[in-house]
Structure 1
Amino acid sequence: MEHELSIQQAPTRKEKPDYSDLSFGKHFTDHMFVMDYNEEDGWFDARITPYEPLLMDPSSLVFHYGQAVFEGLKAYHAKDSGILLFRPEKNFNRLNISNERMNIPAVDPDFLVEALKKLIHIDRDWVPTQEGQSLYIRPFIIATEPALSVKPASNYKLMIILSPVGSYYSNSDQMSPVSIYVEDEYVRSVKGGVGFTKTAGNYAASLKAQTKADELGYDQVLWLDAIEKKYVEEVGSMNIFFKINGEVITPALNGSILDGITRDSVIELLRHWNYNVQERRISIEEIKAAHQDGTLEEVFGTGTAAVISPVGKLKWKEEELTINHNETGALSLSLYETIAGIQTGEKEDKLGWTVPLEVKQT
């Protein structure tokens, strides 16, 4: 279905934040993209409007039964002063995977990529230019039908908002290793559930364990499988990788693990570099054993927000495993420098991942 896109310019522009001190997701640009859905018209009324609050009925189904999905990607200021997106089509394709599981109507990924380009073009002066900075992009869909029946909604709203961001982590050195608390009481998801989707409830369910990790002085939570509580799944905001005796291992996608865009990029890049990459089940006991015999060389997380996060410490039960002397490993650093370099155009994009912001005239 062909969509038209209307554009309403903001009458005034906001004052820009201090780009030398950007927090994650605290400031938002002048405009947003909005599109609505009903059963008669499908997705309709695509528009770019001034960023503004929503007026919603208190009985909107999203508030009561959590029918909501989202994505996260970034735009980067390129070395030639242009703007680059990183594999945006994969994010919108994954949005449809989440939509299908959450019983939300599918969207047109190609149209959304073009709409996103126009939105960023309008707010292009919000794309920060300093090293490690980017424009974070948050597409999301919520159920807006006013009803209290437990059912799929008949009305939805899709929005895309933009936020200039610095490093995801508060530490000034993004590549300083993070510490991870292995959660063995609470569980995040199970095969057949919604763990492979980016739905709001997944993240709400993680907050209790993250609070526990914070209280113990750890940065993130590593989740184990929900059945046996022995196999590694993913970190709260990242997929996880282990370099053991020269091989790189990451948990296989099993229906409860998110198919991360950065995860996929790391696997593709490592295989391009001729590393042996295994996607398989790996237990926390295997990781402990590799640490004990000295073959656990590196651990790192992957995700849109941080790209690569070296892990320096893993706390499981009463033990704390220190990895690579709590220092950033050579492979983690190479992956970060390569992917970040591709994202900003500083390194050759041999794998065809970046999309320049070329806006079609309407």
Structure 2
Amino acid sequence: MVKYLQSSIGIIHKNHAESITSYIKESVDEELKEENNIKPAQKKRLTFCVEGNISVGKSTFLQRIANETLELRDLVEIVPEPIAKWQDIGPDHFNILDAFYAEPQRYAYTFQNYVFVTRVMQEKESAIGIKPLRLMERSVFSDRMVFVRAVHEANWMNEMEISIYDSWFDPVVSSLPGLIPDGFIYLRASPDTCHKRMMHRKRAEEGGVTLDYLRDLHEKHENWLFPFQSGNHGVLSVSQLPLGVDDSLHPDIKDRVFYLEGNHMHSSIQKVPALVLDCEPNIDFNKDIEAKRQYARQVAKFFEFVKRKQESSSPQPNDSEKGSSKQILMPHQGGLWMGGKGFPESALKSFDFKRAMSFMSG
């Protein structure tokens, strides 16, 4: 640096060049310190997407278990599925959910397109939060792998429409990393159980939903989420659970966690962990407090597991980087280089050396 100032800038006296070098280094160090103070590293919170068939109990899970238990109440922020947005669109209050169920062949693409848009809006609206875990009801991935597949196979979405859907799905998901969860929670129950619960809740738009449709959705959830064992291409039964995949798992969830994988899996969620919760039993959460807390403990342990895995996989500074300070080095092209941050030659030309020298001599 001193030689550079003497030969290229014209600072004749060595002591002046050394003073200017020290001044620049101190100024840069101070600026970097201020930047670090202004922009502290914000701790990333985790996002889990809660998946499952129609009427499997997602709303009950989110409201009664995540909201009302000591294990989760202060841990999670709940982001329910934006059903209200689907039921009331624009000044004319269109109900696209009702329109889809009434005329699926006419409105399947329109509905799935709008569902995706509302999920993007919802992710943006809930991106900043205080609580360390965000639980979102369903995801754009279950939209594509379950519901879009179902309407396409039922011929409610034609080849042109699904080609259009796929043409923007990948680039949009790739450009919005907030849509990619850190984990999935799959609420699992048989189609017959889901059908009984649907009949009991009597949501107006679901009047035309058949048991066969629920069976189809169940099969697509299973095919999407569960890694099949070699040679077994059938659908897993409700009583089966995936094999444990990690020795560090807590006993409460050891046989309920696996990683998403397979050629059919979207590249952005390959190896993302998933927790399976058995929702087959009909539990009265007003009376069975212990059952409610058991579900909550499993989610809390899954959160700890995913958080620990992410922290352990974060890049750590090597020994040469630890304790090292920023250094000003001479690059090959005439500028300054300060520990990985460039100081271009144009900046040197605009630097007030007269002010620097007067400062040093004062």
Mark the structure with the bigger radius of gyration: 2
Q: TM-score range by the shorter chain?
A: under 0.3
TM-score by length of 2: 0.24
Q: Which has the higher helix share?
A: 2
TM-score by length of 1: 0.24
